[in-house]
Structure 1
Amino acid sequence: MLWVKSFHILFVASWFAGLFYLPRIFVNLAMVPPESVAERQRLLLMARKLMRFMTILAVPALVLGLWLWLGYGIGKGPGNGWMHAKLTIVVLLLGYHHACGVMLRRFEAGINRRSHVWYRWFNEAPVVMMLVAVVLVVVKPF
C-alpha cells in the first residue's frame, strides 16, 4: 500500500505542476502580438505537449487513488468526511483540466477573447484547490 500511495502522490504532484504551468503559457499566448506568428506557434506547441503530458499523468494518479480508496478502503467508514471533500476537489480539478483543454483549442483556433490578466487569475485556482486538498488529507478535519 505504501508503494501505491507513493506513486499516487508522485503522479498527483506532477499533474499539479502542469496545472500550474499551462495557464502561465496561456498568459503569454494572450500577450503575443498578432504579427508574432513564430512566437505564437512555439507557445502553442509547448501548451499542446504540456496538456498531453498532464493528461498522461492524471490517469495513473486517478487509478492509484481509486485503488487506495476502493481496494484498501482508505477514507471509507464513519469519520472520513475529509475523503468526500477531497473527492469534490478532485472533480473540480478534473473540470479545471478540461477547461484548460477547451482554452487551448480556442487558442489554436485563434478565437481567444480573454486578456492576460484573466489568465493570471485563472492560474490561481489550482493553487487554492491544492492547499485545500493538502489540508484535507493531512489534517483530516472532519
Structure 2
Amino acid sequence: MIIDFLVLAYPWTKSLHVISVIAWMAGLFYLPRLFVYHVERVGMSGETADLFQTMEVRLLRAIMNPAMIATWIFGLALVFTPGVVSWQELWPWTKTAAVLAMTWFHHWLGLRRKELLAGTDTRSGRTYRLMNEVPTLLLIVIVVSVIARPF
C-alpha cells in the first residue's frame, strides 16, 4: 500500500526534494559568508553584531534546518520508491556520502553559530572563506553522481 503511494507520488516527491535541496543549499552558501563578514568587519559586540546574530540565527533556524529536514524526508521517500535507486550501482553510494558530508557541514555551521553567539569563536575570515567552498564541492559530487552517473 505504501509502495503504491510512493510510486504515484513520485513526481511530487522528486519536485519537493529538489525545492528543499535548493533552499538548503542557499543557506549553506550564505551562512559561511555571513560568518566571514561577522568575524572580519563586525566583531562580537555592538548593534551591527546584534544584527548579524539575528540574521545568522534566523537563516539557520527558519530556512536551513527545515530545508535540511525536508531534503532528508523527500530523499528517503525517493530511496524507498521502487525503481528509483539501484544500490548495485556506485552513484547512490557517492551521493549518500556527499549528503552525509553536507549534513555534517550543516551541523558544523550550527556549532560555529553557537560560538559566535557566545563570543568564543576564534576562527578567521579565511577559515570561513575556505569552508564556504565545501558545499560547492559536495554539490558537484551529488549532481554528477545523480545525473551523469559516471560511477
* TM-score bucket (shorter structure): over 0.9
In structure 2, relative to structure 1, the CA distance for the partners of 1:42 and 1:128 (3 Å cut) is: same
Q: 1:64 to 1:82 in 2, by over 3 A?
A: same
Maintained 8 Å contact 2:42/2:48: no
**In the alignment, what sits opposite 1:70?**
80
How far apart, CA to CA, are the structure 1 residues paired with 2:24 and 2:42?
Answer: 30
Once residues 35 and 7 of structure 1 are traced to their aligned partners in structure 2, the CA distance between those partners, rounded to angstroms, is: 38
Task: Provide runs of 4+ in structure 1 moved above 3 Å.
Answer: 32-36
What amino acid maps onto 1:59 in structure 2? I
**What amino acid sits opposite 1:58 in the alignment?**
M
Secondary structure of 1:11's aligned partner:
helix
Residue 138 (structure 2) aligns with: 129
Aligned residues: 141
Partner of 1:19: 28
- After TM superposition, the score normalised by the length of structure 2 is 0.88
Question: Gapped runs of 5+ residues in structure 2?
Answer: 1-9
TM-score by length of 1: 0.93
Aligned to 1:96: 105
Using the alignment, how far apart are the partners of 1:51 and 1:119 within structure 2?
16
> In the superposition, relative to structure 1, how do residues 34 and 139 fare at CA in structure 2: closer, same or farther (>3 Å)?
closer
- Name the Cα RMSD after superposition: 1.4
Deviation sequence 1:13-63 (CA, Å, 0-9, x none): 110000000001100111135485111110010000000120011111111
Say which of 68, 90, 95 aligns to 1:81: 90
